[in-house]
Amino acid sequence: MKEKLTIDDFKSMLECALKNIKEREEEFSQLDAVIGDGDHGQAIVTAMTAVVETAHKGTEFKSMLNDMGFDVMLQVSGSTSTLLGAFFLGMSDAVSGTALDAEGVRKMFAGGLANVQMQTQAKPGDKTMMDALVPAVNAITGCASSDIADILKAGSDAALEGAAKTVDMKANFGRARNYGERSIGFADSGATSWSCMFQSFSETIK
């Protein structure tokens, strides 16, 4: 039973995400190459590396998340870092203190999604990272448990399911849209890497 998420817990979640994302860098780039420029593996590893480096200096949630969001946006260019930065900045708006209870965790993730939604018009079904992020955060906010492990597991399951669903989708957003039918049969790279992040969060807190 995990009733409180400490700042050290959260840093461990991020470190686990970076480790798992690094291990799958090549896979994310190969998926991106189907309908894009094949740089997503490198982009998400670079962005998460910057995020974790800043997180290490954090002593409480609000300023740590704010610094993580700003640093990744300033240090790394491209849409991957913009969206990841927006996620952590939105989380920052919704939290305070050095430990979060279940309701605090739900509010943190809800804040993250709300801010990402202000950065992109993409919606679930468009074959983007939103196909993992939106169901993950909906599952988190919809999980009434006071055990944070249950909440993160719900987010992980929904993110993985959402990413898997992108295999059958046709790209409907941004430049990838030009490839149309060619995108069917492959998962979206961003949905896959974001689902890896949520899976890592759950793997850390059991």
**Would you count residue 26 as binding Mg ion (CB under 5 A)?**
no
Site residues for Mg ion, 63-82, by CB under 5 A, read: none
- Contact with Mg ion (CB under 5 A): which of 10, 13, 18, 36? 36
* Helix or strand (DSSP H, E) at 100: strand 99-100
Percentage helix, strand, coil for the chain under 3-state DSSP, each rounded to 5: 70, 0, 25
The stretch near Mg ion (CB under 5 A) out of 11-19, 26-34, 82-90, 103-111 is 26-34
**Would you count residue 37 as binding Mg ion (CB under 5 A)?**
yes
**Would you count residue 32 as binding Mg ion (CB under 5 A)?**
yes
| DSSP state, residue 5 | E
- At closest approach, how far in Å is the CB of 42 from Mg ion? 9
27 — phi, psi (to 5°)?
A: -60, -45
**Tokens 């919704």 belong to which residue?**
94
Q: Specify the 3-state DSSP secondary structure of 99.
A: strand
Q: Which is nearer to Mg ion, 15 or 27 (CB)?
A: 27
Give the footprint of Mg ion on this chain (CB under 5 A). Answer: 32, 36-37, 39-40
